[in-house]
Structure formats: C-alpha cells, structure tokens
Structure 1
Amino acid sequence: ALVTYRYESLRSHLVKSDVCPHDKQSFRSCEKLCGGIECLQEINGLHATVVYLSIIRCVIIAFIDSSSPTSDRIYYAWLAVFICRLWRTWLDLVPKQDLDNRISQMANLSDIAKGKFKQKATKKIFFITSSTFLCLELNAHHLTYLTLLVAESQLPPEILKISLFSSQTCENFFRLARSMSGTFSTSVNLSVQQFLNRQEKIS
C-alpha cells in the first residue's frame, strides 16, 4: 500500500510531456523525475532507471543547485563520473547476446521492432553519448582543479559559485530579460544593447 501511495504521489506531479521521448532537453522534467527516485526504488524492474536518474541528480547537485556546498559538489560530480565508468566497463564485459536477450524481454516492442533493433543495435546505444560522458569527466576534473586553486589562494572564492556557470542560469536570466517587454509589445527578440540595459535593471 505504501508503494502504491508513493507511486501515485509521484505520478500526480508528472504530466505527459515530462516523459515525452521527443523532448530531451526539458530540465524541469528531469527535476520532477529525479525527485521521485525514492518512490521508484521500491518498484520492481526499475533499477536501471533509478541509477540513470541518480546520475542526473548527482549532476544537478554538483553543478546546478545553488545551495550545494563545494564539498558536496565535488563528491556528487565524481560519484556521477564513477557510476558512468562502472556502467561503461560493465557494457564492455557483458556479451552482446545478453543485451539482445534483454531487448527480447521488452514488452513494449513488437517482435518485428525487436528484430530490427537487434540488427542495428551496438553496445553504444546502451550508454550515454560520448560527448556527455566526456563532459562529465571534464567538469569533475575542472571543478576539482578550481577548488585546489582557491584553497591555495590563487583564485578568489567567488570562482566556486558553479551554479552561475550553468546554461540553466543563463537561460533563466535571458528569459527574465525578455519578459521585461512592455505590456502591449509583441516583440520577443531584443538587441545586445537592450539586453545589457535590462540586465542592469535586473541586477
């Protein structure tokens, strides 16, 4: 009953667009899904999904959440990296046939779709993209390096306000600047000078 209640609680906070496979850049949807990890842990057959969402939550804590202390940022950044390293190592070791068998067990695919999927499938499709993995590695190393430079007083402490460097912060700031148009204005674009003027007002 508790699992059912938690599942219903999670589902009540989600909308169809949150799990739309065509929209892969919805940060708010990621936040909602990551907020339900504890609920998903108690549902059988979702272990891989929980691990994947845990990686995303580690990234959010390490690089996006403005309230995260530096020690937590470093911990969760490297936790995400090491989980991905283990994931990739496991893929290198597991036989391709085992992965094909897992595809065969997917209930949401027809037999024809499964056959085509197996023919085209390589181990790479079971892992995050190479650019994403490289980004995780670089960010974790860079964060550690910046922290060491600050500890050695070679850089000011302000450099560790990592959340201000994320694209989410920039997008939110730009969205706020664009919303400052007049009530009857239909223009959504603005020049560089207009943006600079508005950011002064926001600041």
Structure 2
Amino acid sequence: MSGIIGKKIGMMTIFEDGAAVPCTLIEAGPCVVTQVRTEEADGYKAIQLGYGEKKEKRTSKALQGHFKKANTTPKRKLIEFKEFEAQFNLGDVIKVEDVFAEGEFLDVSGKTKGKGFQGVVKRHGFGGVGQSTHGQHNRARHPGSIGACSYPGRVFKGLKMGGRMGNTNITIQNLKVLKVMADKNLILVSGSIPGPKNSVVTLHK
C-alpha cells in the first residue's frame, strides 16, 4: 500500500542523541477500502479509502449506498491511491502499521491555513517603501511602483502584489518516520506539515 489518510494532532519535540527534533503527531487511519477500481471496469487500477466518521443524515443517499456496498459507516474523507501491490477487497481495514515503519521516509499533503487577503510585506516578504523619514509618512508597508514607463505600458502578469494568502494544497516531501504507535493509530514524523490542528492530511510513500 502506498499511503493512508490521517488527521494532524499537533507538534511536539523529542530528543535524539541530545538534540531537540521538532516533529508532528498524526492520527493515521484506520481507513476502510470503500471501492476497488480495476483496468476492466474503470480503465485504471486504484483503491479508494475512507477515513473519519460522518453522520448518516448528513450523507447523500448515493453515498449511503456506496458505503453500504463496503459494509461500513459513512466516512468523512474519500481519497484514491494508485500504487499498491497487495490485493484488497471492499470493507478491508488498513492501519498505519500496514503502510509505514520506523525509519522510512514519506510525503505529507494537506491544505495550508488560510490567511485571507494580505499585503506584500506579509505575503512576499517585501521590506516596504523606505523608512519613516524623507516624506514617507504613510507608505511603510506599501509595494511601491509596479509599472514601467512607455514600455511596456502595462503590468506584467505574475507580479508579486497583495492578494489571498494560504488555503492551498501543499506537499511536504521526505519526512522521516520517527515512531509508529500501532495501538493508538499514531505516527510521529519529523518536521512540520501543512494545515491547522485536526485537519485531514494524506500520507504517501
């Protein structure tokens, strides 16, 4: 199996050889196989995993039937994984110890925290226009000039300006698995991962 769905619990620090290592605690699984895609029926090979509980009254009739085929309760998140070798059946339960082991490296995908509309100083790290002298009494965090003269006579696309910041899908690569706590469905990885606490993330090999 190439991955699993989880939930970000929070960050902590552990000590390895006397050095403090920042790490993130993730509740990974258990996930249920809710659909098996095949070359004959779908044109590609993949399995669909479901994670997290969801109230039945908040689930559409179509999805309720989808989950009943797998003999499981409605799930909050459904994600497909394409790279796998073992054979899976509807309703199979996949746990974190079935996918990852201590010492391995993985990639974590998630949605970053939304910051709303932000200016160039926070969004792009601009220094602002000048200092508090030379007549710049209200321009400290402004972007400054954005265009040239008669040529090109316009603003180029992609210019760094103020705008919406965050709330984008990000993948952090090559995080080391420091510890797998199978009895609690927890995995400890080095470094930080995108998203706030309790947000859903995807772990890939």
TM-score normalized by structure 1? 0.22
Bigger share in helix: 1
Q: Which is greater in Rg?
A: 2
Bigger share in strand: 2
TM-score normalized by structure 2? 0.22
